[in-house]
Structures are given as structure tokens and as C-alpha cells.
Structure 1
């Protein structure tokens, strides 16, 4: 297939449904959660959280899922590789992805593990604390990776959270091999500072050997390199021979490409309502720009626009068509 006809991005990640709960610090402490981060929970804990709290909204996503849906909102096309069960939540996921014009080739599987779910507690200042029940999403393996689903895309996008499971890790490695053979750029999001702490060594091997585009926030990249400030991380990234897009919340973002360092202003937002998917949508804009041969400056601007839109309201889906904002 010619490059002109290729889809923008094929992404792999934990397939799950996001469930939103309006919250406060007292609630976070009540459940003994790591605030402003991702907490892994079991199905019993998930059921408890849903029984004891009022659910505000529900949407198909997961981190990479949010990104691929964002790319679609920019007018791009993509494929999501993830695993769900043939249950009520799984069928909701498929319908929601279909409505977003995202290809989901694996469909639903029949097994005893229910579809993954991320319960997101959102505080008044936009801080989000995620409680993730991985469910079927973590069961993805090499056997689920088919060449025909991976080829004919411009960029392959890997969700760091999926690295927690050995079978999923092997699936991602197989996907990288197929994508490289198809001349795709390989992109990775570090996902979470605790995820980085769990997998620092193997993440570094992946970055050194395969990654062309790296996404992280300030805490994640500093944790990755075990330094205390962004300036030290930038110095290290200059020697990594890749493009790094580092988000810095209200400070905007910084793009590093060898010796080139670009400081990108954030979009002006009247009030931050929900910061849940800011990084995911930033990646969507940046990848959409890169896949369509935009400059790093313009791609980062797309990322800022998408992140600015998503934090201005509740939830992980853009309320405005992102293509109308560029």
C-alpha cells in the first residue's frame, strides 16, 4: 500500500471502559489510593467502588484508546489492538469504538475474565486518581497480533501500562517487529511514574532499540532517568536519537530532537475541569501531525490544542471536533 493510503496510527493498549466519579481528597484517602496516579485493583474492589459511588459518565477507552479516538477526531484513521470479553461492558466498548470510526480487529473473546474497567475519581481541581481493573485487557498475547492488522499504518503506538503483563509485553514486541518491517515509526508512552519504576530497565532497552517517538510527562521522564529536574532529562534525551515530547501541565510541553529543543506554550484554558486524558490527547494531536508530515512545532501545537480541549470539560472525549480547532 502506498504511504498516501496508509492509516495514521495502529495502537495497542489495555482495552477498557472508563467510569467517571466526581470526588474529593477525603474519598481518595478513604480508599487508601495513590492520588493523581494509577492504582491496580481486582474485580471485587471495582464492584465496591461502583456500589459506593455515583457514576457520572462511562466511555470506551483506556489510555491508548483515548489517543486513537482523538486521532479520529482530528480527521485521521486508525486501528486499536486490545482484548475485551463478550459481556455487557465489552459490547459497549465495541459499539463506542465503532461510533468513533476506529477499527477494532480482535472483536470480543469468550472467557471467564470480564472486560477491563478504569474507575476515575476526578477532584474539583481536575486531579484524577485512576483505579484500574485490567480484566481481559491484560490477557492479550502474541497469538492476538496478526500481520494484516498491523501493516499499512504510518505509526505504531505502544501503551506503557501494558508492559506490566509478560504475555502482553511479548505481544508488543511482535507488533514492533511487524511495524518496523512495514517502515512504521515506533512510538511509546511511559504512561505513569509508578509504571516507569516497575519497568525502568526494560523500558530503557525498548527506547534504545526501537522507539522513534517518546511521550512522557515531567515526573515520568525524570523517574525514567532517575534525575530531579527536567533540564537533566533534556540533556539525556538529546543523546537518545529520538523525538521526545514531554508534557509539563500548565507549563506547556517541550520537544527534544537531538540538539533541537522546542518549548511549546499550553493552550489557554479558563478552568481545568478534568485532567484525566490530557496526556493521551496530547499524544493524539502530536501523532496526527507527525503522520501527516507536519513540523514538530505544528505537531506539538496540535497536541496542545487537543489537551486544552479535553481538560476544559469532564470526560475523555473531545466535545468539539478537534479538526475544527486547527
Structure 2
């Protein structure tokens, strides 16, 4: 039967069964005795969460009803719960709603062999002719007035702001991406199109094979893509004051760690964690074959574990939204940090957002995911496959069914479904967001860009889910229509201006704080 106390579904035992068996809301008599203590602990956690939510969200004490059938194509707009609007009460758009219808290449480099004292025997050095990164070039081309873009914000020499709008907690890894042929993969005995975790020796073997090859390097990671896009959307006074965006993670004191921190700093994202002495920074090697298939090799580095300390607690206590990257669940020693970080966010009145990240990651750490999602999460970002994995649904279940189901446990659920559009779920209902038209060039990073749009809408005090989702869809379409995973400065400013214009000119007025959600 299903889990009680609103902490997510129980894993099904056979693929031929529906994931939830609905009964009278009580656990079966055959349940193991040692699960009782866990249920009592989760019940206490939910009582605390209901207390901090102000009653705006009705938390489930028994499994929700069976997933309803998919909605009709045309769906009406819904209202964001009052809880989310309260994080930005001074925003000029808090009482407005809206419904509008509406890269440069990363630097190249070479792999340089270092002395035997180097941790991996190789280091990144950008080519001289492209040492200025794409973010800096775009800022110069944009030539924004000083009152619109505060360049001093990106300077690490200045004191950080008193409060962060978003703090991301995630893996800090440098991406190396290059184009190879099938023979290269065969020589290294790599399966094309797979993603695997490698150790220090395996990474060194691949890097040595790439020695002298042309490739691109970037401060990578799903979370960093979202944070950079959000920082660029909120880099001006359009729609409100500039947004303060930061990230906490773990990097080593090696050159790659310095490269990662500098890249984020130039993109207006503060990296708040100090480098670990003598630690090595994690890397992801992305090998793309001519048929556009990607083979990824991830090395977590010796500095991959994120520890919870008073400094991190202080950062969390001064943020409006804490975003936890799902890939962190792959690090066993970091799961405790995730729990303590979410507890601190709850005590501070901050919202907690969780990215699902990867289906296989969810399957490997299903219970750990639900301990966080069921007890702390206010927002969950997932694609359709990840949403089904969280629900333990079969692949035949529709994305809207997964969205509706998850929204019984989480106040706001965002589920993307590729070119078919996306859904935003609240209180058992799902709002359909049609896809924005574009000519796809590179789909990598689309979900990260979409998440930045949802976060931007929440921080700007927008209440209409349909309009917020439409903005997120337009941001994702912009990234899909270009090479690379990062939203450019020029595109971000255009999207922010368009968003603010439609907020101001909209004739739709929402009942802000209303618990009404459209039914269909």
C-alpha cells in the first residue's frame, strides 16, 4: 500500500502493478516493526512543516487518490500559493498577475602535462586568443548603463550582500567537452552514450589520450547552469532590484578549482565555499561522437564531499530560496549535510527547492530522495522520466499524472516533457504550459534553463502559474536554439524586459494568496 504521512510512495514490487495500492490510510499489519519509529519521526517532521507553512498548503495524512486521466489541451491559469509570494513582499509586482502569449563559444584550451607533483598530471590552460570568457565579452557588447548592471557585484573584493535571493547547494565540477570518433571510444573501451563515474587513474588515462586535442572547458554542472541564467535574468533593475545569487559546494585548491570559482564570479554568481587545501576538483569529460551521442565520464575528486558547518548555516539563514542539486545524493557523506541544510532553511523561513537531476540517481537513492522531498521540499524540478521515477510510476503513466501526484506532497512541482511542453502542479492539479517555438540546436541544459525561469518568477512575486511557466518555456527554447548550455546576457535582458512588460500591461488581476486552483 502507499506510504502514509505524506512522505511519498512506497516502491512497487513488480513492474506489472500500479505503484500505489489505496486502502484505508493505515499501514498493513504485516509491516515491519522497525518502520514504526521512522513513521513517527516523519510525522513529527510534517507537523513542524505544517506549522511553518502558515496553513496555506494542506499536507497529506493519507495517500492521495489515484492519478486522474490527462487534462484536455486547453487549461486555465492558476494562482501561486501565498507562501511563495511572501518571500518578496516588497516587490512592485506582488499584486499583479499576467498571461502573455507570447554565445559565443566557450574558451578553447590545451591539456598541459605538469610535474609529478600534480594530482592528475594535467591542467587546464586557456588559449591566449580566447582567454576572455564569453560572459565578459557579452557584458562588453551589451554596454548596459551602470544603474542597470552593477559590475562591482561580480568583484570578489567587495563584501557580499546581507541577504541572498538564491543559494545553490551542489556539485562543483569542471566540464571538458570534445569531439571524438568511435575509434577513440573503442580504444579506451568506453560504451558510447553512457554516463559513468571514474576514479583518478581512469580519468588520467582519458586525459592522456586527449592530450593535444582541441576541447572546451567550462564551470559545468546542472545547478550552475540554472544559477548563471537566474543571475543574468536578475542582473538589472528590471521588475525589481538585482538578484543576489550564490552557490556553495566543494572545490580543491588546484588550478581547476580556481578556474571554476573565477568562471562563476564573472557570471555574477558568488561561490561562497573556500577551496579545500590540497584537494582536487571534480571533472566531467564529455566525449561527443559525430552522431551527436555523448559519453560522459565523471570524476568526483577528493574534495567532492560538502560538510555542514557554521559558515554554511549562516549562508542558508540569509537566503530566500535554497536549491539542492539531486546529484548530491550520489555522495553518501553529503546526505547528512543536505538534511541539516534543509532543516536550517526551514528554521529560517526559506523555501527549499530540489532538482531531481537523474533517473538512475533517484532509483539508487529513492528513500533518501523522499526523506528530503517529503519533509522539506517546497519546489521540485524534474523532467517527465524523473517525475515518474519519484512516483515509482511505470513509463506508460502520463507526465500530468506524475505532476498531479507529486503536488500532493510538494507545494509546487515543475515537470518538463521536452518538445511536448511542461506542467506546473499545485495541490493535486496541473497547469499545462505549451512549448515555445524554436529550431533545436542543442537540447543540453534546457531543463536547467526552465528551472531558472520558475525561480525568477517566484522571486519577482508573480502569482500566475501559466505566465510563469510561459517565461520558463521561452528561456528553455532560447537555450535549445543555440550551442551551449548557458543563457547569454543579451537574451536574458530581453526576456526579463519582455516579462516585466507583460506583467505591467496585463489586464488579468489575480487574487494573490488565494487557495483557488483551477480544475479541469
Q: Give the TM-score, by structure 1 length.
A: 0.89
Say if 2:270 is the partner of 1:100.
Answer: no
Residue 238 (structure 1) shift: 3.9
Q: 1:70 aligns with which of 202, 223, 229?
A: 229
1:111-162 superposed Cα distances (whole Å, 9 cap, x missing partner):
2x41111122346676544321111452211237522222222111000111
C-alpha distance 73-151 of structure 1, shift in aligned 2 (>3 A) = same
In structure 2, what is the equivalent of residue 317 of structure 1? Answer: 486
CA distance in 2, matches of 1:49, 1:276: 23
- Contact 1:8/1:288 (8 A) holds in 2: no
C-alpha distance 253-86 of structure 1, shift in aligned 2 (>3 A) = same
Q: 2:218 aligns with which of 47, 59, 77?
A: 59
147-156 vs 235-244, greater mean Cα deviation: 235-244
CA distance in 2, matches of 1:299, 1:55: 40
In structure 1, what is the equivalent of residue 458 of structure 2? Answer: 290
Other structure's SS at 1:140 match = coil
Residue 28 (structure 1) shift: 6.3
Say if 2:180 is the partner of 1:13.
Answer: no
- Contact 1:142/1:167 (8 A) holds in 2: no
C-alpha distance 155-40 of structure 1, shift in aligned 2 (>3 A) = same
Say if 2:411 is the partner of 1:237.
Answer: no
Residue 9 (structure 1) shift: 0.8
C-alpha distance 45-276 of structure 1, shift in aligned 2 (>3 A) = farther
- Contact 2:377/2:410 (8 A) holds in 1: no
Which is helix-richer, 1 or 2?
Answer: 1
- Contact 2:404/2:430 (8 A) holds in 1: no
Q: 1:279 aligns with which of 447, 469, 474?
A: 447
Residue 39 (structure 1) shift: 2.2
Residue 280 (structure 1) shift: 1.6
- Contact 1:11/1:157 (8 A) holds in 2: yes
Residue 283 (structure 1) shift: 1.1
Q: 2:285 aligns with which of 108, 119, 122?
A: 119
- Contact 1:19/1:55 (8 A) holds in 2: no
Residue 241 (structure 1) shift: 4.0
CA distance in 1, matches of 2:293, 2:353: 26
CA distance in 2, matches of 1:310, 1:31: 33
- Contact 2:422/2:434 (8 A) holds in 1: yes
CA distance in 2, matches of 1:123, 1:323: 34
In structure 2, what is the equivalent of residue 218 of structure 1? Answer: 384
In structure 2, what is the equivalent of residue 255 of structure 1? Answer: 424
Other structure's SS at 2:486 match = coil
Say if 2:220 is the partner of 1:50.
Answer: no
Other structure's SS at 2:304 match = helix
CA distance in 2, matches of 1:126, 1:269: 19
1:180-206 superposed Cα distances (whole Å, 9 cap, x missing partner):
122111100110001011111121121
The equivalences for 1:111-150 within 5 A come to 111=278, 113-122=279-288, 128-143=294-309, 146-150=312-316
In structure 2, what is the equivalent of residue 186 of structure 1? Answer: 352
1:68-92 superposed Cα distances (whole Å, 9 cap, x missing partner):
1111111232110011111111111
CA distance in 1, matches of 2:291, 2:437: 16
Residue 20 (structure 1) shift: 1.6
Residue 26 (structure 1) shift: 7.3
Other structure's SS at 1:181 match = helix
Other structure's SS at 2:374 match = helix
C-alpha distance 246-31 of structure 1, shift in aligned 2 (>3 A) = farther
Q: 1:171 aligns with which of 296, 313, 337?
A: 337
**Which has the higher Rg, Structure 1 or Structure 2?**
2
- Contact 1:151/1:179 (8 A) holds in 2: yes
223-232 vs 287-296, greater mean Cα deviation: 223-232
CA distance in 2, matches of 1:256, 1:281: 18
Other structure's SS at 2:285 match = strand
CA distance in 2, matches of 1:306, 1:291: 16
Other structure's SS at 2:269 match = coil
Which 5+ residue runs of structure 1 have no aligned equivalent? none
- Contact 2:276/2:303 (8 A) holds in 1: no
Other structure's SS at 1:271 match = coil
